[in-house]
Structure 1
């Protein structure tokens, strides 16, 4: 009795620790993760992609609920992340980083388009200095990109006549000749732009000196708007147009659950075909060789995916596993005590079955009736079935089963011998 109390205390503490761990696992497993994804205008590419991503994630991970939010663009999205009003956001790669933002994934490239009225003889980017130009909202990455490029050509807000308009108003203003040009960053093949270029006497202005621009703006990618992008019959543009592009990047707050981020990144690639079916431009999403080149610190959940670790479980339950380790000694101690008790119980249960076999053997030896032997055979196999179930459920040990097997074989042999004897003297015995 003197040792019973410490053992009992160890067992109680172990049960409490395991229960707490189980509760943590259950909470993490069934918790609904509600995230807000900041995009841009509801008529733009970011919003359309955000809705597609949210739908695919919901289809495969019901515990991740993503609400897509319309915003003013990249800079506004960064502010929302900092404020905690959004946990995910889409931004352009030229957007400034913030302390709490983390990169999650590179998405599709977006090309800078400069559309000008063909009647005005605008040939170079610097010719925009004397024209009226419409720019995207000031909170967008596109707005910031325009002024970064314009600075290279010695242009600033004081030397350009510009207005800030959302995309819908920009197209209307260009059609009404209220502006001479506009600047948009978008994926190639935008259907609204194709319609405008076919309707209006307009052309795409090249952005040249890309190598020089990259010296100050290393995030820029040199690209082209290929001939026929917006119309193949009467080619628009009639020849390749030099341009620059930036990558759209999915970012998150640094406190988003690592396991959730891992599954979001995994879904971008694992369920690519579903995403492309909803948003075709998702086909151009690039899987980086590592997360080192995303332009800002990478989220640990995304890093785990890019490095092809398999710690989805470890990433998600790292804290819980650390807690489990802290109670390991207590659990081992209690399990040892439980093993001793279980071995004793298993032996007692096996002994019970062996006693039943001894009784059956005795009844077999004393039986002279065919029907009684049939019943004894049935009892014998019922005992075997019970023993097999108990072995499967660890109610008896393998050693105990082996000690049971010999008397059972003896019993079945005795039964067959008795059946043979009865058959020889004219009784009908089962085969």
Structure 2
């Protein structure tokens, strides 16, 4: 039995290590810092867990969401301005994308109405977050949609709308001859300004200020605009423990990501406003954010089931093996009994003292062998063994008694 304990412990250790590598796929649009975020996330999660993260470059937001809903991918980075769909959940906020409205020289940018009326405007692909946001703005301003000319290509537009991270100086060179539209003056913010009204009606939008000089000649004055959170989303069927681990690891290692873009510094936060999520929070992320960590049993329930099955199978095998070994030992002691009973039956027929001596040695040899097997655990010190030892002593006494009788006869015969 002792010999079985070591292999059992080794098997349990190997199972508990859970050597199986889990694979998760992450789809992203290659724009702004998204690729860098994806690569950093892959590096971090693979170093923390026994997982492999497959990075997939997506086509657009809607295609990425379709991949999530159909379970073709596990994780996606999506704006919190998409319509609710079954089959996906939010995990955590990553950073805020800023609404940039560039317009060419010569266009009246004194108001939103004068800006977009009768001027070709590019607002992204239909049903994209940028498109949906602009449609909401057209509705908010109660614009005459017959006077809105939507350009299908960026190069055909006098006004270009982009929902993205903060631009670098090199990226802004593509907009030479353009200006940035500001919804209001900065000192009006917080005093029932237009952006306050927009964010009140569309709570997933937040007022945002591009500070003076941060965009060089584009921001001679602060630009008041809007922002929307970019959210890490997961398929709804993803395990709570996986989402919990990923969210906790990402948010608690935010310093790794903040060097990518300044917006990530305030974006990756555990205290983001969950009520503003357009897609409900995944239970695994909620568990982490509410500090309702899964118990040991919940975390390892699936693995525990496997371990339990293995333990039951091993225990059944051990019980069977123990019974087999016990039966084997019983068969061995039965062989000793059989030999001893043969000797006892032969005692009446012994005619010479030498025959008796031979049989005594035979019994003593069997006794010694039985003790050796007992030490080697080939026999058990149970009642059968004890009875055998008593019976063998009794047999030796009978043999010696028989020999004494034979010696007496021989002495009478010679005298």
Matched-pair contact (CA < 8 Å) for 1:291–1:303: no
Shift in Å, 1:205: 3.6
Are 1:210 and 2:195 matched, yes or no? Answer: yes
- What count of residue pairs does the alignment treat as equivalent? 308
Aligned to 1:300: 283
Aligned to 2:93: 106
Aligned CA distance change for structure 1 residues 316 and 66 (closer, same or farther; 3 Å): farther
Aligned CA distance change for structure 1 residues 256 and 205 (closer, same or farther; 3 Å): same
Shift in Å, 1:130: 1.0
Aligned to 1:119: 106
Q: What does 1:305-384 correspond to in 2, within 5 Å?
A: 305-311=288-294, 313-321=296-304
Distance 1:189 1:314 in 2: 47
Find the partner of 1:224 among 206, 209, 214.
209
Find the partner of 1:200 among 177, 188, 196.
177
Shift in Å, 1:218: 1.5
Deviations 1:158-214 (A, max 9, x none): 43111234xxxx3xx2xxxx42111111123444543245x3243334266223223
Aligned CA distance change for structure 1 residues 48 and 70 (closer, same or farther; 3 Å): farther
Aligned CA distance change for structure 1 residues 250 and 119 (closer, same or farther; 3 Å): same
Aligned CA distance change for structure 1 residues 112 and 146 (closer, same or farther; 3 Å): same
Are 1:285 and 2:267 matched, yes or no? Answer: yes
Shift in Å, 1:237: 0.9
Aligned to 1:52: 40
Aligned to 1:184: 162
Matched-pair contact (CA < 8 Å) for 2:23–2:52: yes
Deviations 1:332-376 (A, max 9, x none): 9999xxxxxxxxxxxxxxxxxxxxxxxxxxxxxxxxxxxxxxxxx
Are 1:275 and 2:257 matched, yes or no? Answer: yes
Distance 1:211 1:277 in 2: 30
Give the CA RMSD over aligned residues.
3.9
Distance 1:158 1:98 in 2: 30
Aligned to 2:20: 31
Distance 2:205 2:37 in 1: 22
Distance 1:50 1:323 in 2: 33
Aligned to 2:398: none
Matched-pair contact (CA < 8 Å) for 1:125–1:206: yes
Q: What does 1:54-73 correspond to in 2, within 5 Å?
A: 54-73=42-61
Distance 2:109 2:260 in 1: 38
Q: What does 1:7-46 correspond to in 2, within 5 Å?
A: 25=16, 29-40=18-29, 42-46=30-34
Aligned to 2:75: 88
Distance 1:53 1:155 in 2: 42
Which entry has the higher C-alpha Rg, 1 or 2?
Answer: 2
Matched-pair contact (CA < 8 Å) for 1:119–1:201: no
Aligned CA distance change for structure 1 residues 324 and 143 (closer, same or farther; 3 Å): same
Distance 1:157 1:48 in 2: 39
Secondary structure in 2 matching 1:260: helix
Matched-pair contact (CA < 8 Å) for 2:80–2:279: no
Matched-pair contact (CA < 8 Å) for 1:25–1:317: no
Aligned to 2:224: 242
Distance 2:119 2:272 in 1: 44
Aligned to 1:253: 235
Deviations 1:109-141 (A, max 9, x none): 111111111322222111212101112223521
Shift in Å, 1:248: 0.6
Secondary structure in 1 matching 2:238: coil
Shift in Å, 1:267: 2.2
TM-score of the two chains, using structure 1 as the length reference: 0.61
Distance 1:158 1:20 in 2: 73
Distance 2:280 2:236 in 1: 9
Aligned to 1:146: 134
Distance 2:12 2:240 in 1: 19
Gap regions ≥5 residues in structure 2: 185-192, 319-415
